[in-house]
Amino acid sequence: MPVESVRFAGEAMDIAVPSRPLRVPGVAMAGFRGRVTEPAELPVVPYPATTVFIDFGDVVFVDEARGARAHGSWVVGLGPVGVRGGGRAVDLLQVRLSPVVAHAVLGVPPGADATVIGLEEFWGRDVARLRQRLRAARSWDERFALMEVVLGGRQEASRAADPEIVYAWRRIVAGGGRLRVERLAADVGWSRQRLWSRFRSQLGTTPKRAAQLVRFDRAAQRLSRGHSAALVSAESGYADQSHLYRESAAFTGLTPTALAAAPWLTVDPVAWVTPAYASEH
């Protein structure tokens, strides 16, 4: 089980990743463990995947818009704004699900407007038993394997998203978020309105929002690797550099320069080598 220690917001954090490829496509997992001397609430950045958090420490997430607080086990949908999390004792399993997988394993995917939702709202009493088994696991690999079995079982027992929706999602990812909705609708043989409605009901967001998230995530990764905002905007499908500035401000409240140094991006090369949303078969 690969474990690497990184500096996260000035503190040491151990990050564990699965020692073998996961058998469920469209899923990525990582484990985080460490103690923080001076806890600071960090923003949850909009991302083109649904994220499941199962915490065994004292991490608390705050939904600024609703004034709600969540801890234990929770789900963050596609593209929340105004959600922050932090704690002193971090012992956290994080699972990223492509929207196609989230549709199957959660039943009703959280929408783009959703912020923090308790995992119990999707899996009921099974969550308490799952947390107990995960807490008792002797290693991160054992935790990953257990979670993989749970996700695989739920995916097999559930109804898959429509083939047209799966195709549309994959086209959005393959195109880096630059494909127009009208072209997608024509490719699947649907009207724009039907694609918009079915996409939203099954994946929890609209095709346009999904494309924005994929494009922005790729731009953020390039900024974190030292590419200039001018180059990233020109090569990522933005109309101009000010367009990138507006999306960065809307999604994170940061300029592209500040985004490039954001602490959450420092862990991505370790924890999320392959994005969950881009690993569909």
What residue segments make up the domains of the chain, in order of their start? 3-159, 163-263
253 phi-psi bin (left φ>0, alpha ψ -120 to 50, beta other)? left
> CA angle, corner 4, sides to 151 and 256, nearest 5?
85
φ, ψ at 134 (rounded to 5°): -65, -40
User: How far apart (Å, rounded) are the C-alpha atoms in residues 50 and 195?
Assistant: 20
- Burial status of residue 103 (CB atoms within 10 A of its CB: 0-12, 13-18, 19 or more): buried
pTM of the model as a whole: 0.89
Secondary structure class of 75 (helix, strand, coil): strand
Homologous superfamily of 3-159: Jelly Rolls (2.60.120.10)
- Structure tokens that stand for 10 in this block: 């000035």
Which amino acid makes up residue 174? A
CATH class of 163-263: mainly alpha
pLDDT tens sequence for the chain (281 residues): 577 777 766 678 899 999 998 988 899 999 999 887 776 667 777 788 888 999 998 887 777 766 666 678 888 877 666 677 777 788 999 999 999 999 899 887 665 555 678 899 899 999 999 999 999 999 999 999 999 999 999 999 888 889 999 999 999 999 999 988 899 999 999 999 999 999 998 998 899 999 999 999 999 999 989 999 999 999 999 999 999 999 999 888 889 999 888 877 878 888 887 777 776 64
Give whole-number Cα distances, 65 to 61, 112, 185, 205, 246, in Å. 12, 14, 34, 19, 21
